[in-house]
Each structure stands twice: as structure tokens, then as C-alpha cells.
Structure 1
Amino acid sequence: MKNIVKKENAVSRQFLGVDFVVLSIGKDTMVTKMLYKTTDNVPFHNHPNEQSGYIISGQYRLKFGGSEYLLSEGDTYSIPADVSHSIEIIEAGEVVDVFSPIRQDYL
């Protein structure tokens, strides 16, 4: 468990070609910062983790539950566990995501 992580100690990772950093990890939650580029492609996928996010910068088209949402700086979202979703990167930027439970495939 990493309750406190200084930015210089954040662990860089990649998933589906998207760069991100693992920030804090608690008993039941994980915080990550996604570093989206316009060339990134996140196709429909699902996972057993609830996912909530906050848009720091950039512009995105998030699709899930039969709807699509145009998101930009200051917007937030929550995707229930096991729900198929995708994200299109319209403008490069950063997004903070919180997962519960911890995503084992991000460790």
C-alpha cells in the first residue's frame, strides 16, 4: 500500500498503448493519472472495477451505457464495474482516474 506518493516517485506504466502514472494505492482504491495523446485509442473494454475520473485538461468522447459524452476540463464521470466503455481522445490532456477495487493489471 502506497498511501503517500511524491510526484517524483510515481510509477510510470502503459496500458493499451496509453501512458499513465500510478499515484496512491489504498486498501480498496487506486488513483492514476492518464497522459492521453491524440494518437491513443482506447476501444470498448470492461473491467471489474468501478472507475471515476476528473478531467484536468484535454477533450474526450466517453461512451458507455448506450450514450456518449463530450468531456473537457473540470468535468467528471463514474463508470460502474463491468460496464463496457471507450474513450476517444479529441485533444491531448490529463485525466485523474480512481478505481475500486485496485486494478491488479495496473500494478
Structure 2
Amino acid sequence: MGNIGTSNVFLIGDEIEWEVVGEGVKRKILAYDDKAMLVNVHFETGSIGALHDHYHTQVTFVAKGKFEVTISGETKLLKEGDSFYVPPHAVHGVVCMESGILIDVFSPMREDFMKG
């Protein structure tokens, strides 16, 4: 893996474009370097983050809304103020029960999110 680069030191959310990544799902890639990445993901009610896995460690904060979160076959309903941890290679996904925002942190960065 070559040098992927880093984000700016300061990022203004209103200046970052939303990227549509699924039906009712859009994201903004915020601060990152090759070791960590912060991503803001907006979900409309009923939208789905399909079950998937990746080698990255993921921690997620529920900034707004309600989500049914499944990690390694266990499902919990999480709301604003809650968070979850996804270990590397764990199968996980979400169903948005009430329109909201998830703040994802990945380590290392999700190079697959970068255009290039």
C-alpha cells in the first residue's frame, strides 16, 4: 500500500460534499490519515447498511436517530448517545429505525472509500 495521504488539519462540514452510497444512505469522509479515518454517515428511516465485514477495527457513535445494529449475529437497538465496537472481520450491519447519523472511526483508514 503506497502513501495514501492525509486530510486537511481543519475540515468544515458544510464544505464537504455528501456521497450517496446506497438507498437512503450518504456519507462524508472527514479527517483521516493512513492510521485512522472519521466518517459521517446519514441514514433515512428504513435504509440498510448491509451485513459485511472488513479487516479494519471500527468504532461507531450514534449521533442521531435509532438503529438496529447486528454484530457477529447479535442484534441490539441503539439510539442517540450510544456506541458500538466492531472487531476486525466481524460481520456487521445496521437497519435505520429512525432517521439519523452514525459517526464511524476506522483503523487503519478505509482505503476502499477513497476515490482514485
Please give the TM-score of this superposition, normalised by the length of structure 1: 0.90
Tell me: CA distance 1:4–1:26, structure 2 relative to 1, closer, same or farther (3 Å). farther
Q: What is residue 73 of structure 1 aligned with on the other side? A: 80
Deviation of 1:15 after TM superposition, in Å, equals 2.7
Greater gyration radius: 2
Q: Which residue, 60, 73, 83 being the options, matches 2:67?
A: 60
Deviation of 1:65 after TM superposition, in Å, equals 1.9
**Count of residue pairs the alignment pairs up:** 107
Please give the TM-score of this superposition, normalised by the length of structure 2: 0.84
Deviation of 1:41 after TM superposition, in Å, equals 1.7
> 2:56 and 2:22 mapped to 1: Cα distance?
17
Q: Once superposed, what is the RMSD of the aligned Cα atoms?
A: 1.4
> Could you report, residue by residue, the CA deviation over 1:17-73 in whole angstroms, capped at 9, with x for unpaired residues?
420101101230000111111242222111111110111110001011221111001
Percent of pairs identical after alignment?
Answer: 23
Q: Which residue, 17, 25, 35 being the options, matches 2:32?
A: 25
> 2:105 and 2:48 mapped to 1: Cα distance?
20
* 1:36-55 superposed matches below 5 A: 36-55=43-62
Deviation of 1:11 after TM superposition, in Å, equals 4.1
> 1:84 and 1:38 mapped to 2: Cα distance?
22
Gapped runs of 5+ residues in structure 1?
none
> 1:48 and 1:96 mapped to 2: Cα distance?
18
Deviation of 1:105 after TM superposition, in Å, equals 1.7
Gapped runs of 5+ residues in structure 2?
1-5
